[in-house]
Amino acid sequence: MKIKTKEQLIARLKEIEEILETDERYPESDAVIIELLDEASYYDVDELKEDAACGLHEADAAYPMHPQVAALLIDIYMDGIENEDPDSMTNLGSLYYTGRAGEQDYGKAAYYYHLADLAGERQATENLGYIYYYGRTGEVDYEKAFQYFLKGALDGHLRSLYKVGDFYKNGYYVEKDPKEAFRIYERCLETMTEAALPAVGADVYMRMGDCYHKGIGVEKDLLKAQELMGIAENLFYKRLMEGDFYQKRNLQHVLDTEAEIRQEIAEELLPDLSWSRYAE
């Protein structure tokens, strides 16, 4: 339903707030809506839509969106798309990609990402890289994935940059080059800000840990690998606690690798102290 006036939006928000105040799963969404209603008089309808989208899109991420919240966001994003807003295209695509709004549809996600990419939104460009990298809408297409990730990397997206590194590490589409992969991962670590750490830090530290563990593009260093994997583990736990369910597999990889590293340290690095009575 198109939201034309601030009064229509306020009415929707009030209706949703009455529902959410009795549902303990959505405290963040409820708090966002209460704040929006308290400050509604200071904003016009477009500003209020923008604040609602920013506040509700990631709220209570450990759960699927409440259907009423999802319906509101979809209406807000469709209004934005009608006005050729690339952020709305990207955000609507992400709802279909994750399925948090109740419908997971990679085809729809790709459609809105393509619209946003054409409008210059590089987050959508990066997201298209994942669509083709994993073959979400059909066959895996490493060539298209690489081109989208490269475009995102050149625009400063660290996630796109480390994915370019993955191509060189694995020899997907480009010639396999472990040293180039390591240089790219190292560059990600060197340029990562505190603000970017929660979103991409775990992925970068995990990749660096893998390199030092297996000697990929750098000399093998088990103690360095253990240190990096430990950082990645903690960061992945935080991501999972915030509802990023895509990180389960990565966390398991880190845990398995840490177990392998500990075993290798015991076998390769620790001296034989069996002669000492304190070794028991």
Residue 217 within any structural domain of the chain = yes
**72 is a domain residue:** no
Query: Among residues 79, 68, 109, which one has the least CA distance to residue 92?
Result: 109
Measure the CA–CA gap between 26 and 24, rounded to whole angstroms. Answer: 6
Predicted confidence band at 167 (pLDDT cuts at 50, 70, 90)? Answer: very high
Q: What percent of the chain has pLDDT over 90?
A: 90
Structural contact between residues 159 and 200, judged by C-beta atoms closer than 8 angstroms: yes
On average, the pLDDT of the chain sits at 94
Residue 256 belongs to a domain: yes
Instruction: Please check the confidence at residue 1 and state whether its pLDDT lies above 70.
Output: no
Q: Which residues constitute the domain of residue 240?
A: 192-280
- Domain assignment present for residue 271? The answer is yes
Give pLDDT, residue 274.
75
Q: What is the model's pTM?
A: 0.88
For residue range 41-74, list pLDDT tens digits in order: 999 999 999 999 999 999 998 889 999 999 999 9
pLDDT at position 32 over 70: yes
Q: What is the per-residue pLDDT for 278?
A: 65
pLDDT interval class at 24 (50, 70, 90): confident
User: Smallest Cα–Cα separation from 198: which of 162, 242, 155?
Assistant: 242
77 CB neighbour count, 10 Å cutoff: 25
- Please check whether residue 210 lies inside any domain of the structure: yes
pLDDT digits (tens, 9 = 90+) for 61-116: 888 999 999 999 999 999 999 999 999 999 999 999 999 999 999 999 999 999 99
pLDDT band at 242 (very low <50, low <70, confident <90, very high): confident
Question: Would you say residue 200 lies in a domain?
Answer: yes
C-alpha to C-alpha distance for 193 and 107, rounded to whole angstroms? 33
pLDDT of the residue at 279: 55
Task: Classify residue 263: in a domain, yes or no.
Answer: yes
Examine the pLDDT at 191 and tell me if it is beyond 90.
Answer: yes
Q: Is 275 among the domain residues?
A: yes
- Residue range 255-264: average pLDDT? 97
- Please tell me the number of Cα atoms within 13 Å of 175 on its side-chain side: 2
Number of domains in the chain: 1
